[in-house]
Amino acid sequence: CVFCFIITVRVLSTNNFIERIFQNSFVHETRMALEYGTIVLGTSVFMEFIYNLFPRFFYRRIFYFFHACNAGLILFTVISPANIFSQYVDLFFIVLITGCMYMIIMLIREACNFTTGASIILIGFILFFITIANDILYSKSMINTVYIAQAGLVFFIICLAIVLSNRYAQALKTSARRTQLEEELIIARKIQQKLLPVEIPDSSFFSHSSRYIPVDTVGGDFYDIFENDERLLLFIADVSG
């Protein structure tokens, strides 16, 4: 949701929507800051999102490095006028492309290890990255196309929805199975409690008492006390030997 909001702000700023409503120099400065700031802010948010989906092969130190660079660039857009930070647009694009390439490499590793959903996310992200590259080249007048990153984002969201829906369905199955196992353990506990002696025979030779507290729902131990030919017999079984 945060990433989509950032993309929405960027779309409004690049389409001069804000300036058409409020026409003054301050709004122009703000619009430029949003346009460039959302590039690196969106990269950081998106990297964190991908990390939460597939944390196994991602390195946190690399993430911290990207976040530090992005934080510095955002601060640069805040304290500098638009005619200054706009001259360093290539630096913003370098950070964006580097972050995207790193995520693609990590997603390829996840896909090669058959991580559930990694292949779908990889396909969606590669297409999204291609549309981002198109927008960068178009903004620099290097190709004659149009801005299409929004379409790439829509395709990526569809891929993401497929993966998340599959994970949600799997979580429901796991939850149902866990509930079934808990019910079976409760039944097993009741059966075990019925196997334990309810009343212990009295003895004139010594006093005794018993209490059975399993570590989990069901324990692996058993005991019994009974009389046999005027003898008091004690039986103890330990599952661990």
Q: Once rounded to an integer, what is the mean pLDDT over residues 101-110? A: 88
- Quick one: pLDDT band at residue 123, thresholds 50, 70, 90? very high
Please give the pLDDT value at position 72.
Answer: 86
Please give the pLDDT value at position 157.
Answer: 84
**Please, what is the average pLDDT of the chain?**
79
Given a cut of 80, whether residue 241 has pLDDT beyond it is no
Which residue is associated with the tokens 């292949």?
119
Q: Once rounded to an integer, what is the mean pLDDT over residues 6-31? A: 59
Please give the pLDDT value at position 40.
Answer: 76
Please give the pLDDT value at position 3.
Answer: 61
User: To 5 degrees, how large is the angle CA 93–CA 130–CA 9?
Assistant: 60
Q: Distance (Å, rounded) from C-alpha 45 to C-alpha 52?
A: 11
Please give the pLDDT value at position 67.
Answer: 85
Question: Which residues, in sequence order, are bridge partners of residue 225?
Answer: 234
Which CA distances in Å does 81 have to 21, 30, 224? 21, 9, 85
Given a cut of 80, whether residue 160 has pLDDT beyond it is yes
Which CA distances in Å does 174 have to 56, 74, 170, 177, 184? 21, 43, 6, 5, 15
Q: Distance (Å, rounded) from C-alpha 71 to C-alpha 62?
A: 14
Given a cut of 70, whether residue 58 has pLDDT beyond it is yes
Given a cut of 60, whether residue 12 has pLDDT beyond it is no
Q: Once rounded to an integer, what is the mean pLDDT over residues 38-54? A: 81
Q: Is 141 left (phi over 0), alpha (psi -120 to 50) or beta?
A: left
Q: Once rounded to an integer, what is the mean pLDDT over residues 50-64? A: 82
Residues constituting the chain: 241
Higher-scoring residue by pLDDT: 3, 125: 125
